[in-house]
Amino acid sequence: MYANDVKMSWEEVIEETRDFLSEEFEVDRDLILPENSLKDTLDLDSLDYVDLVVLIDENLNVKLTGEDFKEIVTFGDFYQLVRKKLAL
């Protein structure tokens, strides 16, 4: 995985993701944990999911669809999906 032309490990991808999600959705970074609910923690409504898709595309170059979110409950689920898309 490359972000800003720097090769990143999977752990670094997760930390980077926590950083930009925390900043964009104004949520305490420490609450972004694998076992916590993505929707509840980020306080997402249906319009916010579009912002999430844009963020993931811009930061990780991963394109998500509405179908992708059907199986996602926790950040752990979310990370697994991103990892699968990145083929890491």
Partner 1 sequence: MIIGKEAITDYIPHRPPFVMVDKLLSATRERFESEFEIERTNLLVSNGFFQETGLIENVAQTCAAAFGYLDREEAGEPRIGFIGAVSKLHVFELPVVGSTIRTVVTPLHQLGNIYLIKGEIFAEGRILLGCEMKIVVTE
Q: Which residues bind partner 1 (CB under 8 A)?
A: 46-47, 49-50, 53-54, 57, 64-66
What is the closest distance, in whole angstroms, from the C-beta atom of residue 11 to partner 1 in the complex? 28
What is the closest distance, in whole angstroms, from the C-beta atom of residue 13 to partner 1 in the complex? 21
Give the phi and the psi of residue 85 in degrees, each rounded to 5: -70, -30
In order of 33, 42, 76, the CA distances from 36 in angstroms are 5, 10, 8
If the CB atoms of residues 54 and 88 are measured against partner 1, the closer one turns out to be 54
What is the closest distance, in whole angstroms, from the C-beta atom of residue 49 to partner 1 in the complex? 6
User: Is 76 exposed, middle or buried (CB count within 10 Å of its CB: 0-12, 13-18, 19+)?
Assistant: middle
